[in-house]
Each structure stands twice: as structure tokens, then as C-alpha cells.
Amino acid sequence: MDEDGLLKILHGGGSPIPLNANKTAPNSIAVLENSGNFIVKELNPDRSIKRILWESFDYPTDTLLPGMKLGMNTKTGKEWKLTSWLSEQVAAPGGFSLEWSLANDTRQLVMRYRGNMYWLSGVGSASQFQNIAVMNDGDYKFSYISNENESYFSYSVPNGTISRLVLSSDGTLGDYKKLIYVGGGICFGYSFEPGCVQNSCRTRGQKFEQRLVQCLDPRALQRDDNWNTSIGDCWTKCWSNCSCVGFYSYSGNGTGCLLFETGDQESNEEIAFVFGDTKEARNDGKKGHDVKVFSFPSIVTATDNFSTENKLGQGGFGPVYKGKLPEGQEIAVKRLSRSSRQGLVEFKNELILIAKLQHMNLVRLLGCCVEGDEKMLIYEYMPNKSLDFFLFDPKKRELLDWKCRCAIIEGIAQGLYSRLRIIHRDLKASNILLDSDMNPKISDFGMPRVFGWNAADAITQRVVGTYGYMSPEYAMAGNFSEKSDVYSFGVLMLEIVSGQKSSGIYNPEHHLSLVGYAWELWRERKGLELMDSSLVESHSEHPVLRCIHVGLLCVQEFPVDRHTMSDVISMLINESLPLPIPKQAAFSTQRQLTEVGLLGGGKESTPASATVTISEMDPR
């Protein structure tokens, strides 16, 4: 701030940028308030505030904080709206905007893409919008002001609560602290928004998928050097070009387009969104899609040449080793088994998924290593091992009191619910890792599929997962969807409440699984008998019964009877929300268990002592 009270941004690329050029005063101060508003104030001689010269809340970028306005000053014509970044790395204005509807006092948020309507929030109430179902936890208080001078929307949260609504470059609106994500669709085979005209060469069943590719024929590439082109623009260009079957982001910062074309469009049943970078990243520290590429020698050094002492475990993907980087950071290295054909597919899937999605309840991918036949993923190290290490040990599970178990359940739910549909297909206690504060993080994305928001169920001949956690439609018919993970989550909930393995046999007379045992106790109004005896001191009756209730709603036999993860989260965090009565749970009879292969056909059966993991029958 200079002697005239002019606030400037100084940078090395040219002249200073004035912020409050129209209003200056020599007796001025600039204050960053607790709200996040940066204000320039003119003072009276007695140091009291005379007037506000400039404030950052009048110039929103991609973020809306409590107390900021969306709308318009009808007297001056000043408009308050959010504008997305061009890409995750480039802060230039992007294609998406979020505005407050001024039409007929409709009280709704409007998201636009390049000026066209993209998504509507629906009519708002005191703390809720129709199309944002997870905003009903009571923390949000909405204000709608409309008078002769201004019309705007604003929101507030309780003191001590951190909140920020961010409009991302891909058109999603999220409160990343409270894990709320919403957004629309631009007619890429997923939906038909008002004013969206379907291209005659495309069909509703066609869609983009993210795929890693090793190379493309340069003769089939069409280059767009416009650095103002976002990834959303690339989607639009490719979808409207009937010969386009995929695209890259041209640069490493998410701008520009390389369109992949073919003259034989009819032979392509799907439109592939080519996921990758046009530049090779071979050196340590060089990044592509925010994934650091490590050299093989650096990983050999970090793991002490993959010593037995550093081996953390062995999975279908391959062994996992503990390592330590030169700067002291501990890591976990997942090394792809060279003889595993299945592992190569999983390796590519995991890169695609985790490079796109990072979340506080997912194990963070730090980087990868690809050197000849060696393929490895490098993760953050979890010092408290996995959930099953504590949960199924009679002594260690005493460390998991009721408060801790509730936090673990909610964390797993939040990890499953995200702006991308994650079909994990092998969600289980051993795939839930715990950090130093016992926060849960979902690991092993070796077998997921990333679905678009409107993607349907899928059928696979590769039934890969763990009996006891697998939904009936997946275990017996190979059908899987988001509801398959909901089932696995329900089983996990019952395990966390009871401290017992899903693979065990309970009530020897009827050979019931944990799910069946929980259902029978619930039906007989003895739900508390399922609770782990070590929780007697720390539990409250109502929350325990509610968790069992929600768990049973997740393990319904038919997918249509199971709720979405969004609904499940609402049930968990909003105790006043009424719960529907569950129907009979899946695998709750001996006949059902025998059909899926969890029991033998005879009358007697030995209780299972370990989970059975099913994978491709290939040599390892």
C-alpha cells in the first residue's frame, strides 16, 4: 500500500497491479479479517473507520466463503459470481460460472458453461437446496436478500466451522471440508440439459472413458494450440466432431487439446477420453497429472533393496514394502508381480483413478515407478496398519472405543462418496488403513471402475473380491454397481460394531453368517447383543442400534432396496432423519450361504477362520 492508500500487487512480470484505483485516501489501512475478507479502510483522525474503500469479497474468484455474496447490486450493476479456473493448474478464468438467479425471485443457484445453463440447484430454503441433498446437516444457514438496491444469496456456518464452496475447472461445486460435491452434465452421452442438442452421429449409450494409452499415431492427431482451451472445451470439441474418438490435454497444465481422430467411426462403440500426458516424465521430481515419477534406483535405496524386514504384506497385486526417502518421508511401495497378468490391468486402473481423485479418506498416491518390467505405486505410509489388525484382535480392539469406531465408519463412507463413482469391488477391513490419528483411508484401488454419474450396472466375468463382503448379485452373477460397494460397506459396519469377522459362522444351529446373525437379532429386538463387549463402557444405546439399522439397510438382498452412499452419509450424520424398516438381509439363511459357496452342502460346517479372496486363476 503506497502513501496515497493505493493497494497494489507487485510481481516480477511488469508494472504493479492496482486494486482500489478508483478510491484512494492517504489515511488508510488494509486488514485481513477472520472471515477471509481483505479490506482497505479509510480512517478518521481518531482512527475510527470512515469508509470502506475496497474489499476482496466484492471480487469473487472460484471460491465462496461464508459472508460473501452471489447476486447483483442493482443500483451500480456490480455482479457477484464465481468463475472457475481454466484448469487445476491455471488460474485464468475458465468456462464455468456460478450465479444467483434474479428471475422472478426463484431463489436458486445457476451454474453456466460458456454462458449456457449447465446446472440448477433447485429452490432454496433456510438451509437446503432441492438438488443438493447432503446440505441438510444444520451447519448451513442461508440468507436471501432482495430489495431496491441489491439481490443476493449468502450463507453462514457456526463459529469454529471451516467452510468454502469451490467451483472447480471441471464444473463441480464442492465444500471440500464437508465433502459435498454437485454438478451437471454437458450432453456427453450422459444427460440432456435444456438447450442441449444431441449430435446425430452420437447415441445416448456412448460415453467418454478415461484410459491410459502408450502411444497414438501422429497422423491421426489434430492439434489445438489455444491455451485458453480447458479440458471441458476438449470434451465439447471431440463430442461434436463425429470422427473424434478421444483427446489429450495438450500441455502438462490441463490446457490445449490434441484430438484423436479416425475415419472408421462406426467401428468404435465407445468414445474414449484418452487419459495421459504428451510429455514423458522419467526423472525424479518431474510430474505428470500430479503423480511424481520415481526412478527405480531411488526406490531400491528407499526399501533397502526390497528387504524382507521392510515387507509389509502380500496381495494379489504383489508385495508391499516400507521405504524411506532421502528427506526422511516414509512411504509404502506396491510392487507389481512380474508374472501377474491381472496386476498389469490393475496397475493402469489404479493410476487412472488416483491421479484423478484425491481425498482425505483415500490413501494418498505419492507417485509411481515404471522401469522396464518393473511397475510400482508409491503411497503415503500408514503407521497404524489396517483396521483388521485392531478389530479382530481381542486385546487390540479394546483401543477402538465407540467414538473412534463411529469416526472410522463415517470416514469410510466419505471416502466412498465422491464426485466420481468408484466401484471398489473389494472393500474390506484389511483394505482400510489407519493413519497416526486412527483416521481411516481406503486402499487397494486395484479393481475399481470409474463410472460417470449416470452409468448403469456392469457385468463382469472376472469376479474379483472377498467372500463375506461380496453382494449376492456380484458373487453369484458377476453384476456389480455402486450398490455392490454399499453392500460391502454395510458388512464393514456390522464388523466394526460387533468386532467379529463377516466370514465367521454364528448361531451354530442355523449356520448363520454375521449378516444373518445381525438380522436375526434385529428381528428379535435383541440388536444390542451384536455389540462388541469391549464397548460396554463407551457406548450409548441409541447410536449403536442406529448403526446396526443403517448397516442392515446396506446389506439388503436386492440392489434396488439398498440406499446410495449419499443417503447412507445423511443417515449417519443426521440422527433426526427417520430410517426405513429393513427387509430380510442377504445371505441370512443357510440355503443362501450354500448357494454362493460359503458353506458345504452337509448339515455340519466348520466355522470359517479366514476370508477367501477370489481373483483370476492365473499363475503368480
What is the CATH number for 327?
3.30.200.20
The average pLDDT across 315-329 equals 86
**Residue 428 included in any domain:** yes
Residues 53, 67 within the same domain: no
Amino acid 555 reads V
Q: Is residue 231 part of a domain?
A: yes
The pLDDT of residue 453: 34
Confidence at 207, pLDDT banded by 50, 70, 90: low
In the sheet where 63-64 sits, what is the strand order?
63-64, 165-167, 172-175, 180-183
Question: Minimal CA–CA distance to 435: which of 375, 501, 363?
Answer: 363
Domain holding 594: CATH number?
Answer: 1.10.510.10
Clarify whether residues 534 and 601 are in a common domain.
yes
Residues 350 and 416 in one domain: no
For the ranges 139-148, 181-190, 484-493, the one whose mean pLDDT is highest: 484-493
The residue segments making up the domain with residue 320 are 287-380
| 40 close to 7: Cβ distance less than 8 angstroms | yes
Contact 288, 277 (CB under 8 A): yes
What is d(CA 311, CA 154) in angstroms, rounded to the nearest whole number? Answer: 52
Edge-first strand listing for the sheet containing 365-371: 287-288, 291-293, 365-371, 374-380, 330-335, 319-324, 311-314
Longest CA pairwise span in the chain (Å): 94
DSSP line for 43-58: E-TTS-EEEEEEEGGG
Please check the confidence at residue 535 and state whether its pLDDT lies above 80.
yes
Tens digit of each residue's pLDDT (9 = 90 or more) over 552-572: 999 999 999 999 998 999 999
Least confident piece of the model among 26-30, 271-275, 390-394, 399-403: 271-275
In the residue annotation, 426 being an active-site residue is answered as yes
Same domain, 418 and 506: yes
Comparison of pLDDT for 349 and 259, the residue scoring more: 259
Among 62, 175, 426, 532, the active-site one is 426
- Same domain assignment for residues 69 and 47: no
**Based on the domain organization, do 91 and 170 belong to the same domain?**
yes
Q: Indicate if 66 and 18 belong to the same structural domain.
A: no
In the chain, the number of structural domains is 5
Average pLDDT, the chain: 77
Q: Are residues 231 and 323 in the same domain?
A: no
Give the H/E segment covering residue 72: strand 70-73
- Return the pLDDT at 490: 96
Same domain, 446 and 572: yes
CA angle, 565 then 566 then 571, to 5°: 90
Q: Is 193 among the domain residues?
A: no
- pLDDT for the residue 454: 38
CATH code at position 76: 2.90.10
Residue 323 banded pLDDT, cuts 50, 70, 90: very high
For 5-33, what is each residue's pLDDT tens digit? 788 888 877 788 888 767 778 888 899 99
Statement to judge: residues 405 and 530 lie in one domain: yes
Phi-psi region of 74 (alpha: psi -120 to 50; beta: other; left: phi over 0): alpha
- Is residue 619 a part of any domain in this protein? no
Q: Give strand pairing partners of 434.
A: 440
Structure confidence at residue 326 as a pLDDT band (50, 70, 90): confident
**Which DSSP symbol is given to 151?**
E
pTM above threshold 0.85: no
Q: What confidence score (pLDDT) does residue 610 get?
A: 36
Q: Report whether pLDDT(292) > 70.
A: yes
The SS3 assignment for 233 reads: helix
Q: In this structure, is residue 577 part of a structural domain?
A: yes
First to last CA, the chain: 66
Strand partners, 160: none
Return the minimum-mean-pLDDT range out of 59-73, 311-325, 383-397: 311-325
Structural domain includes residue 348:
yes
